[in-house]
Amino acid sequence: MSYVTVGQQNGQDIQIYFEDHGQGQPVVLIHGYPLNGHSWERQEAALLEAGYRVVTYDRRGFGASSQPSVGYEYDTFATDLDMLLKHLDLNNVVLAGFSMGCGEVARYLGKFGSGRIAKAIFAAPIVPYLVKTDDNPEGVDKSVFDGIMDAIRADRPAFFKGFFQNFYNADVLTGTRVSEEVLQASFNVAAGSSARATLACVPAWLSDFRADIASIRIPTLTVQGDADRILPIEATGARLPRLIEGSEYVVIKDGPHAIGWTHAEELNKAMLDFIRK
Strand partners, 29: 56, 96
| Burial per residue of 214-237, b for 16 or more beta-carbon CB atoms within 10 angstroms, e otherwise | eebebbbbbbbbebbebbbbebbb
Looking at residue 10, the DSSP 8-state letter turns out to be: T
Distances (CA, A) of 61 to 70, 158, 255, 264: 9, 19, 28, 26
Which of the residues 39, 65, 66, 99 is marked catalytic? 99
Which of the residues 58, 80, 212, 228 is marked catalytic? 228
Q: Is 207 a catalytic residue?
A: no
Q: Is 21 a catalytic residue?
A: no
**Phi then psi for 70, rounded to 5 degrees?**
-130, 165
Which of the residues 212, 247, 257, 263 is marked catalytic? 257
Q: Is 87 a catalytic residue?
A: no
Cα gap 88→35, rounded to integer Å: 23
Q: How far apart are the first and last CA of the chain?
A: 33
Calculate the dihedral angle through the C-alpha atoms of 219, 46, 49, 53, rounding to the nearest 10 degrees: 50
Would you please indicate which residues are annotated as catalytic (active-site) residues?
99, 228, 257
